[in-house]
Amino acid sequence: MTSTSRKTEDPATAPSIAGARPTRQRRAVASALQSFDDFRSAQDIHDLLRRSGENVGLSTVYRTLQALADNGDVDMLRTEEGEAIYRRCSTSHHHHLVCRACGRTVEVEGPAVEKWSDSVAAQHGFTDVSHTLEIFGTCPTCA
Amino acid sequence: MTSTSRKTEDPATAPSIAGARPTRQRRAVASALQSFDDFRSAQDIHDLLRRSGENVGLSTVYRTLQALADNGDVDMLRTEEGEAIYRRCSTSHHHHLVCRACGRTVEVEGPAVEKWSDSVAAQHGFTDVSHTLEIFGTCPTCA
DNA sequence: TTCTTCATGAGAATCATTCTCAATGCGATT
DNA sequence: AATCGCATTGAGAATGATTCTCATGAAGAA
Ligand SMILES: [Zn+2]
Ligand SMILES: [Zn+2]
Ligand SMILES: [Zn+2]
Ligand SMILES: [Zn+2]
């Protein structure tokens, strides 16, 4: 390899925001996201960082999380109460099976659902279609 | 008909809250819900009532809407921003196809989706399963 | 009507999220 | 290294939806 600078994309590691500076704060948030498997709120993640010694402003946590979500690098959904919660995720389109008790989350795919959704929308003449779908239940451990 | 008092359930009209007093305010909210076809926020509905002459406190609008939603008499979902919005709906389980531009909403059913959801959850050992599913798009009129 | 209980609403309180904007950090360029 | 230009940060104020408080009013039973 020559001395030419390259984008060094870590294969399976924390995501970075396209066209943004990889600051200490953004790295810290991205890293924190790797440390849990359930959905957490911006404030939860802020606390997590605080406790782990990383000092990141709450505003920055909000901003970073939103940027990552817009970028498709984390999944964001809303609690019953309307609070935004985040979780790292695979990049392909998928949905979630979430435990109501402990928050444990499984990513699931359903090609049939995708097709159904598009077809139903088409039947009614809707275009530019998207959808949201989450499944909630009690996981084996919590049952 | 005798003079015996009965529960007069209007067949296809505004819903009432089970075990609650049918007050002027609750009737007004239930009635307002009959006057639109898209999803509206509590505050929108409060304004609607205000403008139509009915004077109902904002707290009461919130309380009534939540009670109706808990009762399954109206559907509640959340905007991208997390705001709760409400709409009268049929009593059977269904989902929504919503126009992003004008809010026009179509109720849709998908037995296959219901089965898929339950089966996926079961495969992962989840019990007591429920789900949320909404489809968004641009309606023919807005296209 | 009288009593008991539930419902109402004006305004304060909550609480997540956004905004403000001066201070700072990053990267590129001399 | 010194410097300029601009993105980023964060403390605290502001916002805005929703909830709470609690004194007052209405509904229903007897
Ligand atoms: Zn669980
Ligand atoms: Zn999907
Ligand atoms: Zn439309
Ligand atoms: Zn369903």
Measure in Å the smallest separation between the Cα of A54 and chain B Cα atoms: 29
pLDDT of residue B1 exceeding 70: no
Burial of A141 (0-12, 13-18, 19+ CB in 10 A): exposed
Rounded to an integer, what distance in angstroms lies between the CA atom of residue A83 and that of residue A41?
7
Cβ-based contacts under 8 A for chains A and B: 102
Please answer yes or no on whether A130 and B136 come within 8 Å at the CB atom.
Answer: yes
Mean pLDDT on A69-78: 94
Q: What is the pLDDT of residue A11?
A: 37
> Confidence band (pLDDT; 50, 70, 90) for A13?
low
pLDDT of residue B2 exceeding 90: no
Please answer yes or no on whether A126 and B112 come within 8 Å at the CB atom.
Answer: no
> Confidence band (pLDDT; 50, 70, 90) for A60?
very high
More confident residue, B16 or B44: B44
pLDDT of residue A45 exceeding 50: yes
- Percent residues over pLDDT 70 in chain B: 91
pLDDT of residue A1 exceeding 50: no
CA of B22 to C1' of D29 (A): 16
Q: Which residues place a Cβ less than 5 A from the ion ligand 1?
A: A 99, 101-102, 104, 139, 142
Tokens of B39: 């999803």
- A95-129 pLDDT tens trace: 999 999 899 999 999 999 999 999 999 999 999 99
Q: What is the pLDDT of residue A19?
A: 72
Question: Please, which residues have CB within 8 angstroms of residue B65's CB and are 6 or more apart in sequence?
Answer: B29, B42, B45, B74, B76, B84, B86
Q: What is the pLDDT of residue B13?
A: 62
CB of A115 less than 8 A from some CB of B: no
pLDDT of residue A10 exceeding 80: no
More confident residue, B20 or A49: A49
- Compute, in angstroms, the gap from residue A4 CA to the centroid of ligand 2: 40
**The nucleotide closest to B64 (CA, C1' atoms):** C7
Q: What is the pLDDT of residue B17?
A: 77
> Confidence band (pLDDT; 50, 70, 90) for A6?
very low
CB of A71 less than 8 A from some CB of B: no
Rounded to an integer, what distance in angstroms lies between the CA atom of residue A72 and that of residue B6?
56
